[in-house]
Structure 1
Amino acid sequence: MLVDGGEPVFVGEVAHIVGAVESGPRGAAAVGDREAFENLLILCGRHHKIVDNPRTRGRYPVEVLREWKAQHEAEFDTATRAELTRLRALPSRLPELLVDAFRDATADLGATIDKLEAAGYLAHETAQLLHVALARGSNAGPAVGDGVPGIKEAFEEAYDAAGGASFLGIPSADAYELGPGFVQHLRGGRCGHPAVICALNGRPALVVTADLWNAMSCTGDGMADSGVRGVGFPASSAGGDHRYIAPTVARVPTVGGAWGRGSMVNADGRWTWVPDLGFDSNSGGDADTATGSQPRLDLRLRLVARMPNNRDDHRVSAAGRRRLAAELAKPGMAAIVSALAADRIAVPPGLQWRPTEDQYARNDSWGTSYDCLINTPDGRHAIHGRLHYLMPHLMSSDITSIVDVQLDFDSCQSEPCQPNSPVARRLSLTEVVDFFVRAWRIAFDVLPLALDEPTCNVNSGGRQRVGLYITNERSQNAESDRTFHLTDLVDLRPFGTSPKKYLSRLDLAVLGRGPLPQHEARDVVRKALVRIAENAGFDAADLVTW
């Protein structure tokens, strides 16, 4: 290193210890990589010529030059030696460094093109062509659509429609197949953020922000079919170009996932997947879940909520049981039972939920059970409420909340009921709706307090399922000393009439809804009851007024 006019000038030359070619100086010596850092030595120009000159190089064998290199490097401080060590990878990193350097230069050129367009010196179409040419010339990596046969045309079409190279940047990797579709990541350009091209098999490709895509990919982490396999792929844009879903879009529909249709919803900068509301008429599976130890009365109203679970270590803890017990002891928590006693039987003072004591109850780490009873003076059950909160088990990976209330109409009126005749005080449709709305809150907001973690919503993905059941336990098919039609116990006239003679149970599963405000739960319950009535053949179900 020399100093000329106050400026340092490097005058050294890089020499090879073992020749650069086998016929060169010391070229016959064994070496792994002739261009490796370990085989390079910095010498001044004069000594470089001496060690390589045919008349003098015999005095400077490989061993001598390696000793010189070691002595020179030992004179450096620790930081300098660390930098020298890092340079050992220089030959392998050189292509990457060159590409990065050229990318910086093209970024400056891209900014210049934008300024010329803004000033009116370039037409928009011309500027776009220059951006594309610049990106393609600088892109040493994959092109749009590379990596998966058959998608290139669709991906290029979406890429160009969404703004092309100047707006979205160039691909950072090959496209790949994921779940129900195909994906390729983009570095980001004038849009200001990395982006993703994605296409569900058989649907047009779209471009979304990387933030949205990452949120979809992380939904339901730990569950079966989590991420985009469960959520699906974006379906369309709600603003701007239909091929580009901008960061300002607040709701993005999703399709093609294992969990059914839904939407990614952006609230306060956080994306959450919300399933679409759906109904499943094949819902009888939970009609009798955890009813083995209960005596059957006349009518059963039941709500069973199944919540997908992404953990295998959830349990009911001692602290959780105390939280739940304290909540159930609050005034009004027994209203779901006492409301059904109105004009039927007197409500005893101090009515509240108490831990179930029979041998089949779950009050341990795997579940919890509570009873709330209104009895006749002679001890018969008139209204029997029961709650269950059950952890996943061998037959189900869901966490299950059950809210169940039975009525015995003989015990709720002064005169015995007459078989196959309406009881004196049938349940009204309003009472049925109120029961399910209260049960919804208990299932999602109250019973989950028993978990080892104080949370009211354990779902991190998946599609929640809520079964609604109205069951006649004294139907013509039941082995009973007296039987009823379901319409003898519940006033279903607002739905019209049904041709079914032996209607013993009305049921339906609500799909895609978890914890809800009371007014939303009421709306969902009413829609579900209309669907239930239509399934049962009632001729005016859709005309009901609430």
Structure 2
Amino acid sequence: MSEGTTRLGVVFIHGLFSSEATWDPFAQLLESDEELAASIMVRRFGYASPKFRSLRPDRRTPDYNDLAERLKAFLFYEASEHDRLVLVAHSQGGLIVQRYLARMISEGRGQELAKIRSVLLFACPNDGSDFLLSLRSVWLSKHPQVRALKPLDPGVKDAQRTVLNKIVQAAPGTAEPSSCHIPFWVFGGLQDNIVVRASAEGVFPNVSMLPGDHSTVIQPASHQAPAYLALRKHLRDAQQHEEPVAPTTMAPVPAPAEPPPAPWGDSAKAARILDVLPPYADWLKTLRTQDFFVVSGRINRLFHEAADAFKIDRLEFIDAELRGAATACRSTVMELSEAMIDLLFADRIDTQAAEKLPVEEQEDAWTFVLREHQRGKDELRLHTLRDAFFEAYDTLLRLLNERLFVPEQTVTTTSSSTPATVADPRAVPDAADQQLRVGQGLARHERELSAAYGQLRTAGLGAPTSEAYLSGATAVQHFAAAAGSGPGWVLSLRKGRAVAVSEPLWAALEDAGRPSGDGDPLAAVGYPTTAGTDPKVLDPDVPRVALDGGNWGPGLLVFTDHGWRWEPQVALDFNQTRSATNWTATQPAPQLRIRAVVTLPWDTAPDSVTTTHRRDLTGQLPFSPLAGAVTTLSLRRAADLPAAHWILGPHRNALDSLSYSADIAAPDGQPALTAAVMASLPGAKQPTVTCAEFLIQNSAAWAALLPTGTSTNLALEEVESLLLAAWETAADLLPAATCDVATMRWASAPTVELRLSTEGPHDQPRAHLGALIDLSELGPTDRSSLPEMAVTITVSPMLERTERQQLLQRALVYMLQGFGFVEADDRLFT
């Protein structure tokens, strides 16, 4: 340090409902650190944060603005002896720090911040917290500090934007009235469910995860604890950092040749619009182009952030024409935002799927869908409001371009609300002498992209052909081939993992996800990923590519005889499909139903079930795997009862559906066993669904057809054989009656649902599965009533028989264990 500089001051700021004592573990470790103790002074900033309202009418709980002003006074008076400061905040304390910094910038006092060398945020809810949100809304609704912790609070986001633009992203060494560079270091807790990683990260580029939950993340037990090591490193960095120009220096500063526009002029207003509604944004493109108004949580969140910004900042331009266009755009934003809140709600059917996502993606994983009431009318209203917004937005962009208020890379849009109006993020500015650099356009990821490029350059990557851009949470940049011939490359960076993908392979990936219909194919199928952390190269000859992060779930890009297609990675769960109980309304109800339901979300819906296809199907059904399995059941019981005669019904047959069944009846005509197949082509937002099932209609009638004393209870191996046969019939035989399966592509993940259920008269209790299936070898279960079991497999249903049988056995063990038979294992089927 320079002469006269006092010890580095470390200012600790606690969180909600906490106190200065929360920092005791850090303070004690610093005091006992031989290298730091003599050169560092601990300062603790305390403030009132009561859990309950004061009973005294003359007292109130301070809000964030009050606390920001108190922190300003604390640093000015009580920490004035320090020439260098490091601010360390926990939870809500981080929001107080940001509010303080933003207010200092807005007051033109950025130079006074130069002594702050870094800010460390531990478990700070930068995007708010959903934890116990409903209870907080009821019990703590009037607490000014708690209110600001709701997700995406406008005041918090405004301060955050200022801090990001004027402090974090300011040029190093900057200490001016309107900006001051201060690095931010963000830390989240691995077990923190109060502030999840996505919220802890917010908009800040430097984020790390530490062991601990919301409280223990700032309670290091030793000098080797990760949290203490992180703090120690940044304190040492602050000590060694070069001295800035003294903020108190009053010497005149030479004026620049061309003074920048006034901070509140039309240029600044244009920048604020483009900040919340950027023309290149993938989410805005998706909102513009999707066919059906089903939006992701991320798109919904970002659009409402833009609406919140318009509510706060009316953007009254000096230019009259711009003022009118901005007012019209603001009005359409407000109308569409309010309609989305009114007509959309979060679909939480896929909760388990969301829980499998990385923490940083969970908060945006929900899908917002239309309510059921007046669906057509509501959807039309949303489409109309969306088109009105984009018409006003495009008009405003055109005017901003004409006044040169839009950055050069922004392509002028037209007033037509079509996909063509969105600027391609890969577009290169039309300048012959411009030399793009690796990572240009994404300062946050430039270093990582450059490092990956350096490692992969020998694989054939040439010069950049586009600026880097964000596709979802993935940084992407396009490159030419090194030799100047052949296909180029796409370098993608996701979760710190870099993969160079051949352009043809990248195009195949985009083509595979295009059936999603939402304008963002990569958001559907995901992005290439590889094992390990080192950068990898994927050339056009690889047969399959693992994908990560898609809305369709984990999957693979697989090369087949008919080209590339997306296939899901195998997953097991207990989520019931929408078609699970289709075709179950017949009366009288069977005693036992064993079925396989296959959901086939093809990219192109088959037109109809043709007469030729029906004729072929009816010729094959007597020889189908399902017919064979049903016949074998009786042969094993010394009775020849083939499922050979198939007839129409009992369910609907039409151009868009089919239903056939084969009955085995007792001598008195009473149905004993039934094999049945059904299929339906897509309806409104419904995929193709096929089903094959075996029914014990009446076990007594079946017993009458068997040798005296023969048991009609099914063994587990017979259940396995029936499910396998039903799956084969539903997945291989029935789809061929509707389309050419080999050439079809998916529009989302296909599933196979295997179900066992006892049924019967609606006014009587359903029997236990053990009454009709021998479950004795499974051991005990804790279920007193077990009328059904089911498991859903996310998988491409068309498999080789051996692969299908192995997966079936795995799924059955998973199902049995999930329904209480915890002793079940793979040995059941060996």
TM-score, reference length from structure 2: 0.44
Equivalent runs, 1:388-537 vs 2, <5 Å? 388-394=678-684, 396-407=685-696, 408-414=698-704, 424-451=711-738, 453-455=739-741, 458-474=744-760, 479-480=763-764, 484-537=767-820
- Relative to structure 1, the CA distance from residue 349 to residue 447 in structure 2 (aligned partners, 3 Å threshold; closer, same or farther) is closer
Structure 2 distance, partners of 1:457, 1:374, is 37
Equivalent runs, 1:95-494 vs 2, <5 Å? 140-163=434-457, 167-190=460-483, 193-200=487-494, 202-224=495-517, 227-236=521-530, 242-247=535-540, 249-266=542-559, 270-283=563-576, 285-312=578-605, 314-330=607-623, 334-343=627-636, 346-348=639-641, 351-356=644-649, 358=650, 361-394=651-684, 396-407=685-696, 408-414=698-704, 424-451=711-738, 453-455=739-741, 458-474=744-760, 479-480=763-764, 484-494=767-777
For residue 55 of structure 2, what is the aligned residue in structure 1?
none
For residue 307 of structure 2, what is the aligned residue in structure 1?
none
Aligned with 2:444: secondary structure? Answer: coil
Structure 1 distance, partners of 2:736, 2:671, is 28
Gaps of 5+ in 2: 1-431
* Alignment check: 8 A CA contact 2:643 2:675 kept: no
* Alignment check: 8 A CA contact 1:280 1:510 kept: yes
Structure 1 distance, partners of 2:543, 2:642, is 50
Deviations 1:267-286 (A, max 9, x none): 57954333111012122644
* Amino acid paired to 2:506: W
- Relative to structure 1, the CA distance from residue 537 to residue 237 in structure 2 (aligned partners, 3 Å threshold; closer, same or farther) is closer
Aligned with 1:374: secondary structure? Answer: strand
* Amino acid paired to 1:254: L
Aligned with 1:316: secondary structure? Answer: coil
Structure 2 distance, partners of 1:412, 1:459, is 43
Give 1:181 deviation, angstroms: 2.1
- Relative to structure 1, the CA distance from residue 221 to residue 266 in structure 2 (aligned partners, 3 Å threshold; closer, same or farther) is same
Give 1:205 deviation, angstroms: 2.6
Structure 2 distance, partners of 1:167, 1:333, is 53
* Alignment check: 8 A CA contact 1:337 1:372 kept: no
Structure 1 distance, partners of 2:471, 2:607, is 30
* Alignment check: 8 A CA contact 2:552 2:748 kept: yes
* Alignment check: 8 A CA contact 1:303 1:469 kept: yes
- Relative to structure 1, the CA distance from residue 233 to residue 456 in structure 2 (aligned partners, 3 Å threshold; closer, same or farther) is closer
Structure 1 distance, partners of 2:581, 2:473, is 36
* Alignment check: 8 A CA contact 2:625 2:728 kept: no
* Alignment check: 8 A CA contact 2:626 2:692 kept: no
Structure 2 distance, partners of 1:197, 1:269, is 27
Q: How many equivalent residue pairs? A: 393
Structure 1 distance, partners of 2:654, 2:638, is 34
* Alignment check: 8 A CA contact 1:199 1:233 kept: no
- Relative to structure 1, the CA distance from residue 441 to residue 253 in structure 2 (aligned partners, 3 Å threshold; closer, same or farther) is same
- Relative to structure 1, the CA distance from residue 542 to residue 390 in structure 2 (aligned partners, 3 Å threshold; closer, same or farther) is same
- Relative to structure 1, the CA distance from residue 250 to residue 330 in structure 2 (aligned partners, 3 Å threshold; closer, same or farther) is closer
Gaps of 5+ in 1: 1-137, 417-421
Kindly indicate whether structure 1 or structure 2 has the higher relative contact order, using CA contacts under 8 Å at least 6 residues apart: 1
- Relative to structure 1, the CA distance from residue 212 to residue 325 in structure 2 (aligned partners, 3 Å threshold; closer, same or farther) is same
TM-score, reference length from structure 1: 0.65
Give 1:330 deviation, angstroms: 4.2
Which region of structure 1 is more displaced relative to structure 2, 246-255 or 271-280? 246-255
Name which one, 1 or 2, has greater alpha-carbon Rg: 1
* Alignment check: 8 A CA contact 1:208 1:244 kept: yes
Structure 2 distance, partners of 1:238, 1:333, is 44
Give 1:469 deviation, angstroms: 0.4
* Amino acid paired to 2:604: R
- Relative to structure 1, the CA distance from residue 230 to residue 332 in structure 2 (aligned partners, 3 Å threshold; closer, same or farther) is closer
Structure 1 distance, partners of 2:435, 2:686, is 44
* Alignment check: 8 A CA contact 2:566 2:745 kept: no
Structure 1 distance, partners of 2:549, 2:506, is 15
Structure 1 distance, partners of 2:470, 2:682, is 33
Aligned with 1:315: secondary structure? Answer: coil
Give 1:501 deviation, angstroms: 1.2
Structure 1 distance, partners of 2:513, 2:611, is 27
Give 1:514 deviation, angstroms: 1.6
Structure 2 distance, partners of 1:269, 1:448, is 18
RMSD in angstroms over aligned alpha carbons? 3.1
Which region of structure 1 is more displaced relative to structure 2, 335-344 or 214-223? 335-344
* Amino acid paired to 2:691: I
Give 1:247 deviation, angstroms: 4.4
Q: Does 1:541 align with 2:824?
A: yes
* Amino acid paired to 1:335: G
* Alignment check: 8 A CA contact 1:486 1:504 kept: yes
Structure 2 distance, partners of 1:423, 1:296, is 24
Structure 1 distance, partners of 2:481, 2:562, is 20
Give 1:343 deviation, angstroms: 4.7
- Relative to structure 1, the CA distance from residue 152 to residue 423 in structure 2 (aligned partners, 3 Å threshold; closer, same or farther) is farther
Give 1:253 deviation, angstroms: 1.6
Structure 1 distance, partners of 2:515, 2:757, is 37
Structure 2 distance, partners of 1:431, 1:298, is 17
Structure 2 distance, partners of 1:160, 1:429, is 58
Structure 1 distance, partners of 2:704, 2:641, is 17
* Amino acid paired to 1:479: D
* Alignment check: 8 A CA contact 1:284 1:507 kept: no
* Amino acid paired to 1:443: A
Give 1:147 deviation, angstroms: 2.8
Paired-residue identity, % = 26
- Relative to structure 1, the CA distance from residue 540 to residue 474 in structure 2 (aligned partners, 3 Å threshold; closer, same or farther) is farther
* Alignment check: 8 A CA contact 2:789 2:815 kept: yes
- Relative to structure 1, the CA distance from residue 183 to residue 528 in structure 2 (aligned partners, 3 Å threshold; closer, same or farther) is same
* Amino acid paired to 2:463: I
Give 1:344 deviation, angstroms: 5.2
Give 1:185 deviation, angstroms: 1.3
* Amino acid paired to 2:756: I
* Alignment check: 8 A CA contact 1:217 1:228 kept: yes
Equivalent runs, 1:10-25 vs 2, <5 Å? none
Give 1:315 deviation, angstroms: 2.0
Deviations 1:423-444 (A, max 9, x none): 9331111111111111122112
